[in-house]
């Protein structure tokens, strides 16, 4: 892929429900620590769809046209003068958020909390559904030969799952319940397994998702019913054979009933991690948290070591991310792909880069 002759066609959100394709100037390397990458594949995330439909998430509002996409893998086409870890031709998974490196959170090892984070496809920054992308070299992770570029595009959601499971501090032999069997929930189950959990239960309201979960990484599955949170929790505990509750419960749904069920499912002294995003304010079983001395933590994006571990988990065969890809489409089919994701009938759709030739 030659940046001088290849296309830099980009998929742009102009305003809610209105997208277009346009050729953008190929970006240039501005820092000696940066690399220029030709984007090969990009997965679609719920957040991309949310911006498409609503034009905002929380206080992030799309004010100007913005290129979408942030779950990408690509091939290095040029490197800055001080880059020693990558060379032209290396295939990489792209970490799409670049912190300032100078604030307290950055210097303290929590760069995901940097207040000046520049994140692809979070306004006002453009995303990766484009031909070429610049990034600091330390935010590009070389894919070993046995990991494909399509798998590389799944490293981003896998890194999200790695971060969540690290927050949950899952250790070998533990029991873990994951609310939500969408891509992140499925990957959390897989990572929990990789961290040594012996019981991993996926919970969802859609039977087909649970069926997939059973075939993927989960040892148990439970379909949520329209009963109280305590009753659902009792059923889950029975299902997994843990009368005292699960060591760790992860919410990857953002749904209020799931969060409530979570607090009744976790054991005394256990850990609860909020990964999913739904309503901003909910009714929370705070008494359960207090009486059971539950450690409750949030989880946001990914930080130091998460991408590296995600690549290792795929390379070692511990997480089979390929299974999550429902379909791969050509770049010009991007809008249709977004529509399919919005309908909720697929797991992951990958959009090939504008210079990618699909068989």
Partner 1 sequence: MTERNPAFVLQSIRNVTFEDREVPKLRDEHDVRVHIEQTGICGSDVHYWQRGRIGDFILNSPIVLGHESAGTVVEIGSKVKNVKVGDRVAIEPGVPCRHCDYCRSGAYNLCADTIFAATPPWDGTLQKYYIVAGDYCYPIPDHMTAEDGALVEPVAVAVQICKVADLRAGQTVLVFGCGPIGALCQAVAKGYGASKVIGVDISKSRAAFAEKYGADGIFIPEKSSDPNLDPVDASRATAEKIVEQFGLGEGVDVVLECTGAAPCIQAGIFAARKGGTYVQAGMGQENVVFPITTACIRALNIKGSIRYTTGCYPKAVELVASGKVNPRALITHRFKFEQSLEAFEVVKKASEDTLKVMIEGVQ
Segment lying near partner 1 (by CB under 8 A), choices 177-185, 229-237, 271-279, 301-309: 301-309
> Which member of 41, 98, 111, 141 binds partner 1 (CB under 8 A)?
111
| Residue 33 within binding range of partner 1, rule CB under 8 A | yes
Task: Tell me whether residue 104 or residue 173 sits nearer to partner 1 (CB atom).
Answer: 104
Task: Tell me whether residue 109 or residue 269 sits nearer to partner 1 (CB atom).
Answer: 109
Rg (CA), the chain: 20
* Residue keyed to tokens 């009368």: 243
Q: Is the dihedral of CA 274, 275, 277, 278 positive or negative?
A: negative
| Residue 3 within binding range of partner 1, rule CB under 8 A | no
Distance in angstroms (rounded) separating the CA atoms of residues 168 and 251? 11
| Residue 91 within binding range of partner 1, rule CB under 8 A | no
Could you tell me whether strands 246-251 and 220-223 are parallel, antiparallel, or unpaired per DSSP bridges? unpaired
| Residue 107 within binding range of partner 1, rule CB under 8 A | yes
Segment lying near partner 1 (by CB under 8 A), choices 34-42, 102-110, 143-151, 201-209: 102-110
User: What is the smallest separation between the CB atom of 333 and partner 1, expressed in angstroms?
Assistant: 37
Task: Tell me whether residue 104 or residue 196 sits nearer to partner 1 (CB atom).
Answer: 104
Distances (CA, A) of 351 to 38, 43, 135, 178, 355: 14, 6, 20, 28, 11
What are residue 331's DSSP bridge partners? none
DSSP state, residue 337? H
| Residue 138 within binding range of partner 1, rule CB under 8 A | yes
DSSP 142-199: EPPTTS-HHHHTTHHHHHHHHHHHHHTT--TT-EEEEE--SHHHHHHHHHHHHTT-SE
Task: Tell me whether residue 50 or residue 308 sits nearer to partner 1 (CB atom).
Answer: 308
- CA within 13 Å, CB half, 78: 17
Closest by CA to 320, choosing from 148, 176, 142, 126, is 148
Task: Tell me whether residue 270 or residue 303 sits nearer to partner 1 (CB atom).
Answer: 303
| Residue 278 within binding range of partner 1, rule CB under 8 A | no
| Residue 304 within binding range of partner 1, rule CB under 8 A | yes
User: What is the smallest separation between the CB atom of 107 and partner 1, expressed in angstroms?
Assistant: 4
Segment lying near partner 1 (by CB under 8 A), choices 41-49, 98-106, 183-191, 329-337: 98-106
> Which member of 305, 316, 322, 336 binds partner 1 (CB under 8 A)?
305
User: What is the smallest separation between the CB atom of 10 and partner 1, expressed in angstroms?
Assistant: 28
> Which member of 25, 58, 89, 108 binds partner 1 (CB under 8 A)?
108
- CA within 13 Å, CB half, 197: 28
| Residue 142 within binding range of partner 1, rule CB under 8 A | no
Is residue 251 within a helix (H) or strand (E), and if so which, with residue range? strand 246-251
What are residue 350's DSSP bridge partners? 43, 328
Closest by CA to 170, choosing from 257, 264, 65, 246, is 246
| Residue 102 within binding range of partner 1, rule CB under 8 A | yes
Interface with partner 1 (CB under 8 A): 33, 101-104, 106-111, 136-138, 303-305
């Amino acid at each position: 892929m030659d940046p001088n002759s290849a296309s830099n066609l980009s998929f742009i959100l102009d305003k809610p429900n209105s997208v277009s394709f346009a050729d953008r100037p190929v970006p240039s390397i501005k820092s000696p620590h940066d690399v220029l990458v030709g984007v090969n594949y990009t997965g679609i995330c719920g957040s991309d769809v949310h911006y498409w439909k609503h034009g905002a998430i929380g206080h992030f509002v799309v004010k100007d046209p913005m290129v979408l996409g942030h779950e990408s893998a690509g091939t290095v086409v040029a490197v800055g003068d001080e880059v020693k870890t990558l060379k032209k031709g290396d295939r990489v998974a792209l970490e799409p958020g670049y912190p300032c490196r100078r604030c307290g959170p950055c210097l303290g090892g929590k760069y995901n909390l940097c207040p000046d984070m520049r994140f692809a496809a979070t306004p006002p920054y453009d995303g990766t559904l484009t031909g070429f992308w610049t990034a600091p070299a330390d935010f590009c992770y070389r894919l070993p030969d046995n990991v494909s570029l399509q798998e590389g595009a799944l490293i981003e959601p896998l890194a999200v799952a790695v971060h969540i499971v690290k927050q949950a501090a899952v250790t070998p032999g533990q029991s873990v319940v994951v609310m939500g069997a969408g891509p992140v929930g499925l990957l959390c189950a897989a990572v929990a397994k990789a961290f040594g959990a012996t019981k991993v239960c996926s919970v969802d309201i859609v039977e087909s998702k649970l069926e997939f979960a059973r075939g993927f990484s989960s040892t148990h599955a439970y379909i949520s019913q329209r009963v109280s949170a305590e009753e659902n929790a009792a059923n889950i505990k029975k299902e997994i054979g843990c009368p005292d509750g699960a060591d760790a419960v992860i919410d990857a749904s953002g749904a209020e009933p799931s969060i409530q069920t979570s607090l009744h499912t976790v054991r005394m002294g256990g850990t609860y991690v909020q990964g999913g995003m739904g309503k901003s304010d909910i009714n929370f079983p705070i008494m359960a948290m207090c009486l059971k001395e539950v450690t409750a933590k949030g989880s946001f994006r990914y930080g130091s070591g998460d991408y590296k571990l995600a690549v290792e988990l795929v390379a070692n065969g511990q997480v089979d991310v390929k299974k999550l890809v429902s379909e791969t489409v050509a770049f010009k089919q991007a809008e249709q792909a977004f529509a399919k994701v919005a309908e909720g009938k697929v797991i992951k759709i990958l959009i090939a880069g504008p210079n990618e030739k699909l068989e």
